[in-house]
Structure 1
């Protein structure tokens, strides 16, 4: 392959490297330029000083071709100085057998070859092309080395390379830190020698399997971190040949924890739905039981023994009613009365209540501390339910410290970013936390503490609904809950509530608790549960009202169409085929001004039109009388 073909050995099509020519004879530069310009970008100068200035100014040639004998600066001296600015391949041209100059250029200028004048064109062209290829290869290797070094230094995963004997060839700082050493101290050593016998045996088997299969990956539990919590590593191993093994270990602890929290949230939602359904049916039963006991109590006379039995039955049913209220709090289906609340003021106002409630543990003193932020934002929450939630948390904290200890109530503004807490959208929140110095909880207990009826207390000393009630309250209030616990060190429960907007007004609780007397009226009672319908009708009949009964929505609509004397409708919300919301709309279409009262076992009222009052089951006769009196005016 000779001159004039336009091809250079090793030169890719369309790729033109730069060659810097330096010779004090202009005719030689012209001849060299003619030879090389078809395959290279050529820059030529007769003065070595000018060439150095070009290199210092940013010229980046792949090859420098320089004459040796030049006035002022010889070729070997020029190439030595050029090394300060360029990594180009250097070639020397000489017209004499100057072995000393060639040796000097080899030592100081690091030349890659030399050619005698006059040159053979094809040979010189091939020499320049080979020099260009070596330059490109060296640059590519340097780039790969820089990439590998950057990967080693900055990769957060644990990366290592081992030879056929399992000795470290290269490793990054993350891998060395996991072994408690610096990277340099690990080179040439076997990882198995740095581990316990059990861990070393497991590692040896995993690496043998990876070498045999070519690649392998596994998820395994790692030693606990500084926080004492379990850690998880996902390790991938790839065999590169000649026994070389690459290992990449990624810490997936946070991902595992996030997955666990998401599964827990899904489970809590499913349990909440189930709890709401149970509470609905249970409230129907309690309405019938309490109502029947109340009506029967008016008819039994003054028999003390019988009255005592009925009183005991009433107390038991009311305990069941309290249980369903907790279930509804967990399932986030309780009817709340939220208003703007200052968390600091609420906590400070609970001092006497907490002191009376907590008392002193049998084994030692109990200290209650408050670590309140200077001015945390207000929240929108039902203050009575929130007080109850804090009392529940403080009681749990006290019970976790049988030998005494410290309970700390703390508040703080807590802005939350995207995905920081899985169940909460990003935004402004206020954090209220209750921390203790008690026994803490192991992970297997921590994953279940929000399940209803799960308790570690002795039989009869806990219902397992305290924490679920707290969780239900904060979720129904638009917030979330986080629990941090370390066995032997204590537990912190943090409640996150959305910060109230600046213009939020405090809501006024409905009703003043005073029953309204009213004249007898014809009232339509609608309920698919015959026992509940009978109790409601009995309550109203006892108050002097005339009662019509219907077992479903269609029957109720027929009665309304045929009897214009009905002045009020009391209807259950959860009924088959037509629920209370649908019945209310159709009833208002027939009788636009008809007062309607809905009764329900839980607050499944998302589709309800505004302006329709709701009474929660189980209700007493006095509560029903008050609502009816208000509606009849």
Structure 2
């Protein structure tokens, strides 16, 4: 009976689900009353309850469910009815799958699934979810499988993110493939990384990663190849724009003229060229026309005075060209024009001109167009060659862009007697160049934000490594009370500064979307009401704080601690924008979000949390950069520039969005959209308080490649009563293991050169099963980390280390004693 009482006490201390199991009457059905539970069942149950990750034990032939608090949160509306219920009845929508699991597990085999899709009814509504599942048989006291242990993790958000990324890449490809020119991206050496569909359509060749010399040999006219390679090399040497004209062979073997233009993209940190964004525009028809025009320009004045036969030959040449040609005298009387010009003039201005007409008289009844035409021709009557691009046409019709060139016309004595004009319609070419520019700008912005996110996450990791010995040492100095009152005051000030640095790193991780979140169903109305006094004290007496909450709001999925920090950041920003005082309004509404709002979220119901001020507002340039990290308008020393970027990163990590509306002098509204959790609030269960630090005995193997972090952690462990053995790498720790060094506890850093902390933990678990293990990490990096492995995030104080060690050592001891 003492054993049963001890087991029941262990259940009661193992969280809400443990208490539920302890108080349940199990005498009817599987697995029977607690007094009759086997040692194997008791040990497996405690293992499940003490795990921080979702785990469920399916016991007996029916698979009676015994699960922990993490699984209860995942099961949502199915909890607590699922506890003690056969899995077939608890999850009827997955009967066949669970039958297969039970048959396999009770036969002694294991199963593993990654990103396995299910349609579940956790809150009475069908939802599509993806899960990672690992099933292992649990051997009962008689040596045969008595149940199946399942470790699971919900991957729905990750699968959705991967799908969104693939959709974004598809949209970019569709957009670039729609451009009627060849678009390409090359690396710093000119080797092709990307070519749009136009390249294959024209050349008939599939995309290949080729160097400039290889491309020139395969597709460029032999007479132009050396020029192209030299031009690109010159651009690389100078760091300027690559631009050259050359001929490219089509799939039919014909060569056409193209204009290459490529801009370098530089690494923001080093300034080094890392990529080239280029286009190859088909200018064949234009080049032929320009050649014709060049020949015409060289001979027009001479041919005016030549014989009639030569005039007829010139007229035939001008008449057959696609370029629009017209000549007028100084009074705007038309001296001559070709068919292309007459047709386009009629299409644009609605009247057909002919030789002898006065061009301005033709437009007498349309004074606006008449003045526009007159002003254009006057630019050509100044006696010099003039070229420009401009729009012409009836405002009520489609206006088009034209490349216009004016040349003075002289008589035999050198006097200017008129002007002749060459015009080409360049509307489609300019439109294609604009589309290309937009695509390049979008790609550059996406790469910029991705690079900043990666940089920020890495900086935060390094800062956490730097802060760990600082925070730990100051904590030890404070608790030991070293020095006098002045020394303790200095230590307290340094500890406060370290805590501010710790919060700054949390903001960096929020922007990089790498902060650890504890998602629950949050009553936002209650959260906002609870922060009323804090917001009012933060903003000061000059600012009136108003709260407007729509009644009956459903809860939203969020991390309440991070959300409180985000709301406080928004309130501080609003306060700083109202230097002379004003009004701050916090509003909560439920809103249906569709495609019309242009937010990067799935269509559905959201809770809209908005903070509105009557301050200075932002102009368009400031608004465009508002969520960039470290961007601030507050001046040096008045802000980190991370407030809005942290809120933006939190919104994205929660599956929501951030929207900002602001105008100079009109104030600013910042709206945070959070996904609705369900129709009714999920009541949270208070955490059981953790005991304070206690002294323990035993030997700890401490592994960390950062010397200062290792020494500080060793001091903490020694202060807690441990005999500490240090190792600077995973390989050094394995060598100690091979030498037979005994230890009761392994504390290891996660990210280290060579053997990682996770790999080291797996080796120690295999060779020393009874050793308690704690994994320490600079940020919320969980790739490759076993869900059951206990973790502690840097930086940490001695109390936080002690509390975590108490949990992991207690779990290890319970497995041994049971």
- Cross-structure match for 1:586: 763
- Cross-structure match for 1:348: 529
Deviates more, 1:299-308 or 1:466-475: 299-308
Which structure 2 residues correspond to residues 361-372 of structure 1 after superposition, within 5 A? 361=542, 366-372=543-549
Aligned equivalents of 1:390, 1:256: Cα separation in 2: 38
- Cross-structure match for 1:540: 717
1:353 offset after TM fit, Å?
2.2
Q: What SS does structure 1 have at the residue aligned with 2:345?
A: coil
| CA shift digits 1:235-293 (9 cap, x unpaired) | 85379x9989897999x999999997886565344223212211211121111123234
Which structure 2 residues correspond to residues 41-80 of structure 1 after superposition, within 5 A? none
| CA shift digits 1:202-225 (9 cap, x unpaired) | 9x99xxxxx999x9999xxxxxxx
The equivalent position to 1:237 in structure 2, one of 373, 386, 401, is 401
Task: Return closer, same or farther for 1:519/1:299 CA change in 2, 3 Å cut-off.
Answer: closer
Aligned equivalents of 1:237, 1:604: Cα separation in 2: 54
**Higher RCO (CA-CA < 8 Å; seq separation 6+):** 1
1:574 aligns with 2:751: yes
- Cross-structure match for 1:99: none
The equivalent position to 2:793 in structure 1, one of 607, 612, 616, is 616
1:408 offset after TM fit, Å?
2.6
- Cross-structure match for 2:506: 325
1:537 offset after TM fit, Å?
1.0
The equivalent position to 1:403 in structure 2, one of 562, 567, 580, is 580
How many aligned residue pairs are there? 431
1:456 aligns with 2:633: yes
Contact 1:329 1:469 in 2 (8 A): yes
Contact 1:166 1:191 in 2 (8 A): no
Q: Which has the larger radius of gyration?
A: 1
Q: What SS does structure 1 have at the residue aligned with 2:521?
A: strand
Aligned equivalents of 1:192, 1:460: Cα separation in 2: 60
| CA shift digits 1:369-394 (9 cap, x unpaired) | 33433444421111122122112112
1:495 offset after TM fit, Å?
1.2
Aligned equivalents of 2:499, 2:531: Cα separation in 1: 26
Aligned equivalents of 2:450, 2:487: Cα separation in 1: 44
Query: TM-score with structure 2 length normalisation?
Result: 0.46
The equivalent position to 1:272 in structure 2, one of 444, 453, 474, is 453
Aligned equivalents of 2:435, 2:491: Cα separation in 1: 56
Unpaired runs of 5+ residues, structure 1, are: 1-160, 171-185, 206-210, 219-233
Q: What SS does structure 2 have at the residue aligned with 1:497?
A: strand
Contact 2:554 2:680 in 1 (8 A): no
Aligned equivalents of 1:524, 1:546: Cα separation in 2: 9
- Cross-structure match for 1:287: 468
Contact 1:515 1:623 in 2 (8 A): no
The equivalent position to 2:706 in structure 1, one of 526, 529, 532, is 529
Aligned equivalents of 2:485, 2:426: Cα separation in 1: 86
Which structure 2 residues correspond to residues 187-586 of structure 1 after superposition, within 5 A? 188=366, 190=368, 236-237=400-401, 264=445, 266-295=447-476, 301-361=482-542, 366-417=543-594, 421=598, 423-501=600-678, 505=682, 512-517=689-694, 519-563=696-740, 565-586=742-763
1:599 aligns with 2:776: yes
| CA shift digits 1:87-135 (9 cap, x unpaired) | xxxxxxxxxxxxxxxxxxxxxxxxxxxxxxxxxxxxxxxxxxxxxxxxx
- Cross-structure match for 2:302: none
1:532 offset after TM fit, Å?
0.6
Q: What SS does structure 2 have at the residue aligned with 1:444?
A: helix
The equivalent position to 1:164 in structure 2, one of 345, 357, 362, is 345
Deviates more, 1:406-415 or 1:379-388: 406-415
1:431 offset after TM fit, Å?
2.1
Q: What SS does structure 2 have at the residue aligned with 1:277?
A: helix
Task: Return closer, same or farther for 1:369/1:298 CA change in 2, 3 Å cut-off.
Answer: closer
Unpaired runs of 5+ residues, structure 2, are: 1-341, 352-363, 381-385, 393-397, 404-420, 811-818
Contact 1:419 1:426 in 2 (8 A): no
Task: Return closer, same or farther for 1:514/1:256 CA change in 2, 3 Å cut-off.
Answer: farther
1:457 offset after TM fit, Å?
0.9
Aligned equivalents of 2:681, 2:550: Cα separation in 1: 21
Query: TM-score with structure 1 length normalisation?
Result: 0.58
Deviates more, 1:241-250 or 1:399-408: 241-250
Q: What SS does structure 1 have at the residue aligned with 2:716?
A: helix
Deviates more, 1:579-588 or 1:610-619: 579-588
Task: Return closer, same or farther for 1:304/1:367 CA change in 2, 3 Å cut-off.
Answer: closer
Contact 1:480 1:495 in 2 (8 A): yes
Contact 1:264 1:447 in 2 (8 A): no
1:494 offset after TM fit, Å?
1.6
Q: What SS does structure 1 have at the residue aligned with 2:566?
A: helix
Task: Return closer, same or farther for 1:371/1:165 CA change in 2, 3 Å cut-off.
Answer: farther
Contact 1:552 1:578 in 2 (8 A): yes
Task: Return closer, same or farther for 1:201/1:345 CA change in 2, 3 Å cut-off.
Answer: farther
Q: What SS does structure 1 have at the residue aligned with 2:671?
A: strand
RMSD over aligned Cα atoms: 4.4
Task: Return closer, same or farther for 1:406/1:263 CA change in 2, 3 Å cut-off.
Answer: farther
Task: Return closer, same or farther for 1:236/1:369 CA change in 2, 3 Å cut-off.
Answer: farther
Which structure 2 residues correspond to residues 6-45 of structure 1 after superposition, within 5 A? none
